[in-house]
Amino acid sequence: MKKNKPFWKILSTKKGFAGDWIDMDIDRVELPDGKVIEFEAVHYHNNGVGIAAENSEGKVILVKSYRYINDFTGWEIPAGTIDKGIHHSDVIIKELKEEAGCEVSKEDLTYLGYHYASIGSSSQKFHCYHAKNVKQVTTELDENEILDAKWFTKDEIRKMIMDNEIKDGFSLSVLQRILLQ
């Protein structure tokens, strides 16, 4: 059996950009075959968290957002950024209230795992949650981020996914996880 060579080895790193949310590094990397390349890597300061929030009728709430960088308005799951020192379950409870006007207890949260948003070029990790027994307690939403919040059946969500109406990768990942349960 052939011994495995080590994978990519970082030889040096220089900062290409340092921002409040992200840094871009330019790494000199040695590949397993010995070739040396420059590789641009995006490092996020914080990870993200999102939730498929289900009410007692089995409907899931989605929020409509405008994303200026893509000039796109569409339906997404409630989600947010995890600040340092705060557990992602606390963040998701806060975001669910701000973005969808909903409340849920920690006991009703189920952690589904995580995924990398753009594996191979970015360090950002998204934590995925599902909750049942979610209650909408207000229609006052974060007016800077959310245009609308609406409950959908799982069949409606399946159709929206198949019709390419939901374009947010994070939302697709979480919603498909609950649809496969």
Place of tokens 């496969």: 180
Domain that holds residue 165: 48-179
E strand or H helix at 118, and its extent? none
| The model's pTM | 0.88
**Cβ within 8 Å of residue 58, ≥6 positions away:** 153, 154
Which residue stretches of the chain are H helix?
A: 88-100, 154-162, 169-179
The number of residues in the chain equals 181
User: Domain check: are 16 and 57 in the same one?
Assistant: no
What is the pLDDT of the chain when averaged over all its residues? 93
Place of tokens 């969500």: 157
pLDDT digits (tens, 9 = 90+) for 67-101: 999 999 999 999 999 999 999 999 999 999 999 99
Q: Is residue 4 part of a domain?
A: no
Q: Is residue 1 over pLDDT 60?
A: no
14: nearest Cα among 41, 44, 53: 41
CA dist 5 to 18, 30, 142, Å?
Answer: 33, 12, 51
According to DSSP, the β-strands at 36-44 and 125-131 are: unpaired
Q: Is residue 95 part of a domain?
A: yes
- CATH number of the structural domain spanning residue 68: 3.90.79.10
The mean pLDDT value for 125-143 works out to 93
Q: Number of structural domains, the chain? A: 2
The confidence score (pLDDT) of residue 5 equals 57
